[in-house]
Structure 1
Amino acid sequence: MSKRITPFAFRYCSTLDGLKEGIRRKRPGLLRRGVVLQHDNATPQSANLTQQWLQHYVWEILPHPAHSPDLAPSDFHLFGTLKRHLRGMAFETEDDLISELRNWFDNLDVDFFRVGINSLLSRWQKCIDLHGDYVEK
C-alpha cells in the first residue's frame, strides 16, 4: 500500500523549495556549508515527501521536543509582537489582511529576527539543562 502525498506536505516542500532558492540568491555559500532547519513534528514536516526532500538536499534537522512552544521562535518571539501590531485593526477582505501582514514583515528590522534566533540558543541550552522540560520565560 503506497502512502498518499498530502497537499500539506506538497505545499511544505514547495515552501522549502522557495527557501532554498532564497538562500541560494542571498547567501550562496550557506547551501554548500549546510543548512540547519528547525521545525516541529507537524504532519507536513514529518511526511515522507518532506523527509525525502530533506534527505535529497542534505539539510540537517534540529530536533524539537514534543509540545515545546518555548523553543519555537514564532511562538516566543514573533506571534506576540504580531498580535500587538494587529490589535484593534479590522479588515474588509482577506487581501487587506494579507497586504497588512506583508507590509509589517517587510518593515521589520533585521535585528528583530536576529534577537529571536539568538534567544533560541539560550532557550535550547535551558531545555537541555532541564532534561527537555519547558523553558520558563
Structure 2
Amino acid sequence: MSITADMYCEELNTIMGKLAHLQPALVNRSAPLLLHDNAQPHIAQQTVSKIQELGLEVLRHSPYSPDLAPTDFDFFQNLYNFLAGKKINTQEAVQNAFEEFVASRPAEFFKKGINKLPLRWQKCIESMGNYLKKK
C-alpha cells in the first residue's frame, strides 16, 4: 500500500490529537517540531497546508543520505529488534506491537535518540558527501 498525502495528513491529525492528550506541553509550545524526509506525500501542497494549519515547524532534512537513513537511528534499530520473531498479521496487531514497544522504553531513550540527530547531521556536513562509518 502506498502512502498518499491524504493518508499522511490524516496521520498528522491523529498524532497531534494524541500528543495534545498525552503530552500537552509538546503541542502548546510555540511551534511543535516535525522531522520527516522529502518523500512525495510529505512535500505535497496538501501536506504543507496541513502542517501550517497544525502550527508545526518542520526541521530541514537532506534530500537523501544513507548516513541519515531512518533505519540507522536508535529508534528504528530498537524497534526492529523488538519485533524480531513476532508474527503480525493485521493492522491492529501492528498498532498494538508499536504501542507496546513505545511503552516499554523510558523517556530517556527518546531524548537520547533525538539529541544524536544534530551530531549526525554535522558529521554528514563535515564529510562533504562521503559515507560515514557506522559506530
Shorter-chain TM-score: which interval?
Answer: 0.7 to 0.9
The structure 1 residue matched to 2:120, chosen from 120, 123, 134, is 123
1:48-127 aligned within 5 A: 48-71=45-68, 73=70, 75-91=72-88, 93-94=89-90, 95-127=92-124
Structure 2 unaligned residues grouped into runs of 5+: none
Between the aligned partners of 1:63 and 1:113, the Cα distance in structure 2 is 20
The structure 2 residue matched to 1:13, chosen from 9, 21, 24, is 9
What TM-score, normalized to structure 1?
0.74
Aligned residue pairs: how many? 131
1:39 offset after TM fit, Å? 0.8
1:14-29 aligned within 5 A: 14-25=10-21, 26-28=23-25
What TM-score, normalized to structure 2?
0.75
Q: For 1:24, give the aligned amino acid.
A: A
1:3 is matched with none
Larger Rg: 1
1:105 offset after TM fit, Å? 2.1
Between the aligned partners of 1:24 and 1:97, the Cα distance in structure 2 is 23
Q: For 2:112, give the aligned amino acid.
A: V
Between the aligned partners of 1:66 and 1:133, the Cα distance in structure 2 is 15
Between the aligned partners of 1:97 and 1:115, the Cα distance in structure 2 is 25
Q: For 1:35, give the aligned amino acid.
A: P
CA RMSD after TM alignment: 2.7
Between the aligned partners of 1:17 and 1:107, the Cα distance in structure 2 is 24
Do 2:67 and 2:124's aligned partners in 1 also have CA atoms closer than 8 Å? no
1:57 offset after TM fit, Å? 3.6
Structure 1 unaligned residues grouped into runs of 5+: 1-5
